[in-house]
Amino acid sequence: MRACSLGGSFCALDLRLRTGRVGEAVAVRVNCSVSLEMDEGGLDTEGKMYASRKQMWEEEAGEDAAGNPKNALKKQEWYHKGVSYWEGVEASVDGVLGGYGNVNDRDVIDSTAFLAEIFKECPPSKSSSLVALDCGAGVGRVTKNFLLHHFHEVDLVEPVRHFLEKAHADLGGITEGNRAVNFFCTPLQEFTPEAGRYDVIWVQWCIGHLTDHDFLEFFKRARVGLKPGGFFVLKENIAKNGFVVDKEDTSVTRSDAYFRDLFKQTGFHLYKTKVRT
Ligand SMILES: C[S@@+](CC[C@H](N)C(=O)[O-])C[C@H]1O[C@@H](n2cnc3c(N)ncnc32)[C@H](O)[C@@H]1O
State the amino acid at position 187 in one-letter form. Answer: P
Closest residue to atom 18 of ligand 1, CA basis = 187
Which element (helix H / strand E) includes 176? none
* Candidate of 10, 96, 166 to mutate for ligand 1, largest count of ligand atoms within 8 Å of Cβ: 96
| Banded pLDDT at 219 (limits 50, 70, 90) | very high
- In angstroms, the Cα distances linking 125 to 11, 65, 227 are 21, 42, 10
User: What pLDDT does 14 receive?
Assistant: 60
| Banded pLDDT at 8 (limits 50, 70, 90) | low
| Banded pLDDT at 2 (limits 50, 70, 90) | very low
Q: What is the mean pLDDT of the chain?
A: 87
CB of 82 within 6 A of ligand 1: the answer is yes
Query: Which of 6-15, 36-45, 87-96 has the highest mean predicted lDDT (pLDDT)?
Result: 87-96
* Higher local confidence (pLDDT), 64 or 107: 107
* Higher local confidence (pLDDT), 267 or 224: 224
What proportion of the chain, given as a percentage, has pLDDT over 70?
86
Q: Which of 33-47, 139-153, 204-218, 237-251 has the lowest mean pLDDT?
A: 33-47
User: What pLDDT does 165 receive?
Assistant: 98
Handedness of CA 76, 44, 220, 204 (dihedral sign): positive
CB of 142 within 6 A of ligand 1: the answer is yes
ipTM exceeding the 0.95 mark: yes
Closest CA to 84 of 254, 255, 212, 248: 248
Closest CA to 22 of 272, 274, 275: 272
CA of 137 to the centre of ligand 1 (A): 6
User: Do the Cβ atoms of 39 and 52 come closer than 8 Å?
Assistant: yes
* Candidate of 78, 158, 165 to mutate for ligand 1, largest count of ligand atoms within 8 Å of Cβ: 158
CB of 158 within 6 A of ligand 1: the answer is yes
Residue 70 has pLDDT above 90, yes or no: no
User: What pLDDT does 244 receive?
Assistant: 97
Residue 127 has pLDDT above 90, yes or no: no
Closest residue to atom 13 of ligand 1, CA basis = 136
pLDDT, tens only, 139-175? 999 999 999 999 999 999 999 999 999 999 999 999 8
